[in-house]
Amino acid sequence: LPQVKILATGGTIAGTASSSTQMTGYKAGNLGVQVLINAVPQIKQYAEVSGEQVSNIGSENMTDKIWLKLAKRCNELLADPNVSGIVITHGTDTLEETAYFLNLTVHSDKPIVIVGAMRPATAISADGPINLLNAVKLAADPQSKGRGVLIAMNDMINGARDTTKTDTTNVATFMSPELGAFGFIASGHNYFVRQTTKRHTSGSEFDVSKLDSLPRVDIVYSHSNADRVPIDAFVKAGAKGIIMAGTGDGSVHEWEEPGIVDATKKGVIVIRSSRVPNGPVTESLQRYADEGMLQSGTLNPQKSRVLLQLALTKTNDPKKIQEYFEEY
Ligand SMILES: NC(=O)C[C@H](N)C(=O)O
């Protein structure tokens, strides 16, 4: 049987509530990895699994430190010829960010599958056990190789880059609304229908093996009446990059612009992304480029933050950083 390592980080999949009908307000990240594995004895038919506890937190509390620990551990484990693949159990709130971070920092073609749950382990019809079984089967499947980090939940197979959490509570939450899922799981089989054209995993140039921190990058959400106050505050706090979760096609409020101009003059990289879930952020107004802003293309604000953090570990050159946003 293929050897699959399960790295547990917490989340609702390891969450417990006081009754089987309690679906919100429970404690995420409460059960250990061995309890999760023991709850799904069927796993043993498909893979030889062993677990490691990396953290046990609600993923709203995810940190750069845990990301770095996870990436380093994945690289170590996948370098072992006996290991076929990795499953990471994770809370759903920031799952897409961790998935994209690992997509850019784990250098292996072997399958890496991230999985979570929307209902705590104690719930009636908990989705964790079936999601975990599917994730292990996907990580043990040679078809999953070379596709980058996969997100397996609710019988869907999604790619790390283009997938986002779309529903606060429904089990059908992870979607790639515009660019489409990679495949689906039905009747015990994995069906792949597409793959990304963007660089990832063994094709990625980002190396965190010698890092123990990442550059500070913050996100500013635009809205009616928005002004420069948060931009100035982030620059003062030491931000090396700012992602504008702009309106529409990455538009920013004219009252924010003087703050952006001052930030880019100080060498802070400012990227226009969008609070709108679909559609690319284009070059748009010439004025935005003149003010030093770059654009995120099809990456949402939280993933733009991940890429900019990694980009800034290599360069401060805006032209090179814009290229990264096209390639990754
Ligand atoms: N469904 C979940 O996992 C939500 C939880 N707050 C978490 O991200 O850890």
Query: Could you count the other beta carbons within 10 Å of the beta carbon of residue 270?
Result: 26
Model confidence at 14: pLDDT above 90? yes
In this prediction, residues 20-33 reach a mean pLDDT of 96
Alpha helices in 237-285 (DSSP H): 257-265
Kindly give the distance from the C-alpha atom of residue 196 to the centroid of ligand 1, in angstroms, as a whole number: 26
Kindly give the distance from the C-alpha atom of residue 127 to the centroid of ligand 1, in angstroms, as a whole number: 13
CA distance 260 to 250: 13
Boundaries of CATH 3.40.50.1170 in the chain?
3-203
CB 121 within 8 A of CB 148: no
Active site residue 92: yes
Q: Is 85 in the pocket of ligand 1 (CB under 6 A)?
A: no
CATH homologous superfamily of 3-203 equals: L-asparaginase, N-terminal domain (3.40.50.1170)
Q: Is 57 in the pocket of ligand 1 (CB under 6 A)?
A: no
pLDDT, tens digit, 9 for 90 and up, residues 267-282: 999 999 999 999 999 9
Boundaries of CATH 3.40.50.40 in the chain?
217-327
In this prediction, residues 82-105 reach a mean pLDDT of 98
Q: What percent of the chain has pLDDT over 70?
A: 100
Catalytic site residue from 12, 94, 163, 173: 12
Q: Is 60 in the pocket of ligand 1 (CB under 6 A)?
A: yes
CA distance 33 to 56: 9
Query: Could you count the other beta carbons within 10 Å of the beta carbon of residue 33?
Result: 21
Active site residue 122: no
249 belongs to an annotated ligand binding site:
no
CA distance 223 to 55: 35
Interface pTM (ipTM) of the complex? Answer: 0.97
Span 217-327 CATH architecture: 3-Layer(aba) Sandwich (3.40)
pLDDT, tens digit, 9 for 90 and up, residues 205-245: 999 999 999 999 999 999 999 999 999 999 999 999 999 99
59 belongs to an annotated ligand binding site:
yes
Q: Is 112 in the pocket of ligand 1 (CB under 6 A)?
A: no
Atom of ligand 1 nearest to the CA of 60: 8
Q: Say what the pLDDT of residue 177 is.
A: 86
Q: How sure is the predictor about 317, in pLDDT bands with cuts at 50, 70 and 90? A: very high
pLDDT, tens digit, 9 for 90 and up, residues 166-175: 999 999 999 9
Q: Say what the pLDDT of residue 216 is.
A: 98
Instruction: Specify burial of residue 241 (Cβ count, 10 A radius: 0-12, 13-18, 19+).
Output: buried
Q: Is 89 in the pocket of ligand 1 (CB under 6 A)?
A: no
Q: Is 11 in the pocket of ligand 1 (CB under 6 A)?
A: yes
Model confidence at 178: pLDDT above 90? no
Q: How sure is the predictor about 179, in pLDDT bands with cuts at 50, 70 and 90? A: confident
Catalytic site residue from 9, 89, 92, 98: 92
91 backbone dihedrals φ, ψ, rounded to 5°: -65, 155
Q: What percent of the chain has pLDDT over 90?
A: 99
Atom of ligand 1 nearest to the CA of 12: 3
Beta bridge partners of 245: 221, 273
224 belongs to an annotated ligand binding site:
no
